[in-house]
Structure 1
Amino acid sequence: MTGSMALAGILATPALGMVLIALAGRAPNLREGITLATAVALFAQVLSLAGDVMGGARPELVLSTMVPGMALKLAVEPLGALFAIIASGLWIVSSLYSIGYMRGNQEGHQTRFFVCFAGSILAAQGIALAGNMLTLFLFYEAMTLITYPLVTHHGTEHAKKSARIYLGVLMGTSIVFLLTGMMATWVLTGTLDFRQGGILAGQVGAAGTTVLVALYMFGIGKAALMPFHRWLPAAMVAPTPVSALLHAVAVVKAGVFTIVKVIVYIFGAKNLLALGSADWVPLIAGFTIVAASVVALRADNLKRRLAYSTISQLSYVTLAATLLTPISIVGAAMHIAAHAVGKITLFFAAGSIYTAAHKTEVSQLDGIGRRMPWTMVAFGVGALSMIGLPPAAGFISKWYILSAAMGSEHWIAVGVLVLSTLLNAGYFVPIVWRAFFRAPADEAHGDDHHGDHGEAPWLMVLAQTVTASLTIALFLYHEPVLRLARVVAGEN
């Protein structure tokens, strides 16, 4: 199979899956079998293509030419290959988890759920394989639209209101800021293609570049840089598998992936460093990291705590990317992968707790680790990764980011990393402590009736065990990811 055919196949597979899932809606077992088969087929295709990319191949496919010099084009490079692997690989375990969750909680509209889930993965693959900013933008907007029904899944007034915030912030930022930045880039350079070293290098001065940086950074709302972060906690009204999709598999990863892509291929890291036009971005990212961590520290609702943790963790990627050194770019790319497997594990655990014990607040989790040991051990592994401690993947990515900050003598960034690590420990460690080292509230009052539960359905336990294992595996065997990240940073 040629490279261009492989690119087309990667988009066609989830598209076909959406159709087949919809047709099989009256047969749940067949519908879910199609979901899993599609996810596995897509992952196999992406792995094959990623192997070619690691070997130096850079296949391209022009889908349509709108006007001369402006085409809808697919083209894969190492950063895109990494994002494609993350999205397609985690779709498999997300599908397993979703089947257990949707059945265990007797959720309605399950066919619509699985169709939209497949659609979001299709959009993620389009973003990953976009050959220029125009193609990326169209798939970026498509992801917002296809995930809207997932956010409003329950159909309540609260869900609808939250979904309007979700849609309004993401569409508003992309149309008002991002699209404006793209149009200005086209006028200045005559192209929106991604190019090593940046297409804007040498095309505009420091002041103009600063304005463009602001348009792109705030226009990429899925990266949840403050003050455009409200959509993310609002979306927590959705079922937990959707939260996992938003926070780990597709949506927020599309945001930080786009941030890194723009820094490297639109502006050029060396160009920005020479102009000093992005020097303010680490300050905004640092504020977002600390402020979101403080909110998470005070949140009793478990999903809200995880949501603000995500806002904080995303800005690690933005911070690293805008330090503008090769090692910081490596750290940014590594953290995209590390955060994906760690955060999806945490949301899986939260959903398991809700399904088995119907608990949603941190203050309700005393002793739950005794009845749900698999779930809470998996949660502990994910927490270690978010804090940045071995043997979890987050340690590797944070080490690269901290090394970059110290190497460039950016002491504010160093301070933010140290402070946020302490805050991360402050809001994750007490959860694990409560789960394993406190007596359940019902036992303390001499009543064990309300604690009569065990683990969540086995598919959910299996999925979170797999992702927790991946979090450790990425710590032990991170060389393939590191190789891709180094090519993105221009180290080889």
Structure 2
Amino acid sequence: METIISIKPLLAVLVSLFVIPVLVSSSGKPNVRESWIFVAGAIKLVLVLSMLPVILGGKQIVLTLFEIAPGAAIAFRVDGLGMLFAIVAASLYIVTSIYSIGYMRGLNEHGQTRFVSFFALAISATIGAAFSANLLTLYLFYEILSLATYPLVTHHQDATSRISGRRYLTFILGTSIALVLPAMIYCYHVTGTLEFSTAGIFTGQLSKPAALVLLLMFVFGFAKAGIMPFHTWLPAAMVAPTPVSALLHAVAVVKVGVFSIVRVITGIFGVDLLADFNLGVVVMSIASVTILVSSCIALSQDELKRRLAYSTISQLSYIIFGVALLSPQGLTGGVIHIAMHAFGKITLFFCAGAIFVATGKKYISQMQGLGKKMPFTFAAFFVGALGVIGLPPTGGFYSKWNLILGTLEAQQTIFMLVLLVSSFLNAFYFLPIVFKAFFGKSEEEDNKTPVKIQEANLCLVIPLIITAIISVVLFFYPTMFVNLIKIGLSI
């Protein structure tokens, strides 16, 4: 494949870092501060999109910064998979920034400059992970993202936030250091390289038992992916402001976790090696347990953000499940679910935050009748729910349809039941919320005491409408993402 050397990947990573000093110096001028956020976000998105025609043309963009050892460099490579992830992250960064202004100002939150600064650092690390050329560079940005998001999780700086923050770091740093780091060192020791390759880097150098242990170290070590039992950090992180929850669950943290596992399966082991050893079934079994158990737990959660958190744990495993099918349609369904889930789930989190800002309510049992007073918010919630369930006309249907076809293609029909049962569970924990919101009686109606409730401010409502619309558009026009996946995985 033809490669082009360009500084654009590095600039796409650094642009958010360059703006941080400006954000700090503008802390006393919120409007100026936020203007710079959008300038940086727009430049980042333009840089990412400017590389798209090259990638769709079947070429790759590369840039090596420096070599630490032969076969182990800090380097960037923009391919189909990285481009897909970067487009999702860069576009949602702008939308989430708009939303965070409405949320943080609407609640008069403290530390807003600190918040937007670490937010910018987190998105830089996310783009760095997307464009990583090898496992070493990916690991570096994975850890930077862990440290950058800690101040966001502990934003409220109370006892609960600190406890949640410690759990957050313990899980995602502890597992990556204890499992991913030694696994990466072993890979380099055996092969002498850490470069991603669609054929994998092992050429008859790995026995089946060694491959199994190594694979499990990566799958559990990238704990941002939320695989059980290394998932409890994720519901605990819901103490953070809603824009952070949206960042964690749709744009950055968890998606970097599953993206890292996708890279390891397809670029370190290679599909053929895992198929020869029949190890895809092992990963699918682990993912299936996570999908079903977390969906059942979600049913019992009354706090909306916690229900969304457990839903996220389930949905992340769809991505891993699809890639572990090792079939073209399974791979397509798994990888494209990164994008489809991102737009659906961020819509749901945006709605949860808008409801809280407008009403102060965060429990599902308190939301009866709110759809009549917040129709745009709950209509968007309905669209986001359809996307996560996997129903038309949303992009989530496309990814789940490919996952189901992937199970048939891989002759793993028993696993198709996991997808069908979990989709029913998704419907059971989302659709009643919408029904009660539009057709249930609110407490105020029951008590006949009028309370003025209306839609949240425009900075909150506009982003959730945008992401809901995009979720529908992706149902009709998924072609660009599909082409990027085919190019990135050579399928």
- TM-score norm. by structure 2 comes to 0.98
Letter in 2 for 1:151: V
Judge which range, 114-123 or 479-488, deviates more.
479-488
Choose which of 426, 431, 452 in structure 2 pairs with 1:424.
426
The whole-number CA distance in structure 2 between the counterparts of 1:24 and 1:344 is: 28
Residues 85-123 of structure 1 show CA distances to partners (whole Å, capped at 9, x for unaligned) of 111000010000000001000000000000000000000
The whole-number CA distance in structure 1 between the counterparts of 2:27 and 2:19 is: 12
- Kept in 1, the 8 Å contact 2:234–2:309? The answer is yes
Aligned to 1:61: 63
Aligned to 2:89: 87
Choose which of 319, 325, 332 in structure 2 pairs with 1:330.
332
- Kept in 1, the 8 Å contact 2:70–2:192? The answer is no
- Kept in 2, the 8 Å contact 1:127–1:136? The answer is yes
- Kept in 2, the 8 Å contact 1:206–1:276? The answer is no
Aligned to 1:18: 20
Query: Which runs of structure 1 show a deviation greater than 4 angstroms over 4 or more consecutive aligned residues?
Result: none
Query: Any gaps of 5 or more consecutive residues in structure 2?
Result: none
Aligned to 1:368: 370
Shift in Å at residue 20 of structure 1?
1.6
Shift in Å at residue 356 of structure 1?
0.1
Aligned to 2:461: 461
Q: Does 1:49 find its partner at 2:51?
A: yes
SS of the aligned residue for 1:254 comes to: helix
Letter in 1 for 2:337: H
The whole-number CA distance in structure 2 between the counterparts of 1:286 and 1:53 is: 33
Aligned to 1:474: 474
Aligned to 2:125: 123
Shift in Å at residue 278 of structure 1?
3.4
SS of the aligned residue for 1:279 comes to: helix
The whole-number CA distance in structure 1 between the counterparts of 2:476 and 2:330 is: 21
- Map 1:300-379 to 2 at 5 A: 300-379=302-381
The whole-number CA distance in structure 2 between the counterparts of 1:318 and 1:8 is: 28
Query: Any gaps of 5 or more consecutive residues in structure 1?
Result: none
- Kept in 2, the 8 Å contact 1:366–1:440? The answer is yes
- Kept in 2, the 8 Å contact 1:213–1:278? The answer is no
Choose which of 168, 173, 176 in structure 2 pairs with 1:174.
176
- Map 1:133-212 to 2 at 5 A: 133-212=135-214
Residues 290-339 of structure 1 show CA distances to partners (whole Å, capped at 9, x for unaligned) of 00000001100000000000000000001111111111111111100000
- Map 1:2-13 to 2 at 5 A: 3-13=5-15
Change in 2 beyond 3 A, CA 1:346/1:109: same
Shift in Å at residue 277 of structure 1?
2.8
Residues 440-469 of structure 1 show CA distances to partners (whole Å, capped at 9, x for unaligned) of 1111111123xx120111011000000001
The aligned length equals 488
Q: Does 1:487 find its partner at 2:477?
A: no
The whole-number CA distance in structure 2 between the counterparts of 1:466 and 1:341 is: 9
Shift in Å at residue 201 of structure 1?
4.0
Aligned to 2:288: 286
- Kept in 1, the 8 Å contact 2:329–2:409? The answer is no
The whole-number CA distance in structure 1 between the counterparts of 2:314 and 2:229 is: 12
The whole-number CA distance in structure 1 between the counterparts of 2:435 and 2:19 is: 42
Residues 242-294 of structure 1 show CA distances to partners (whole Å, capped at 9, x for unaligned) of 00000001111101111111111100011100111332111110010000000
The whole-number CA distance in structure 1 between the counterparts of 2:352 and 2:71 is: 48
The whole-number CA distance in structure 2 between the counterparts of 1:330 and 1:488 is: 10
Identity in percent: 45
Letter in 1 for 2:52: A
Letter in 2 for 1:489: L
Letter in 2 for 1:406: L
Aligned to 1:114: 116
Shift in Å at residue 3 of structure 1?
4.4
The whole-number CA distance in structure 2 between the counterparts of 1:201 and 1:443 is: 69
The whole-number CA distance in structure 1 between the counterparts of 2:105 and 2:386 is: 30
SS of the aligned residue for 1:59 comes to: strand
Aligned to 1:437: 439
- Kept in 2, the 8 Å contact 1:148–1:163? The answer is yes
Q: Does 1:265 find its partner at 2:267?
A: yes
Judge which range, 200-209 or 102-111, deviates more.
200-209
Letter in 2 for 1:50: L
Measured on the aligned residues, the alpha-carbon RMSD in Å equals 1.0
Residues 165-207 of structure 1 show CA distances to partners (whole Å, capped at 9, x for unaligned) of 0010000110011111101101110000111111124221111
The whole-number CA distance in structure 2 between the counterparts of 1:278 and 1:316 is: 13
Letter in 2 for 1:412: I
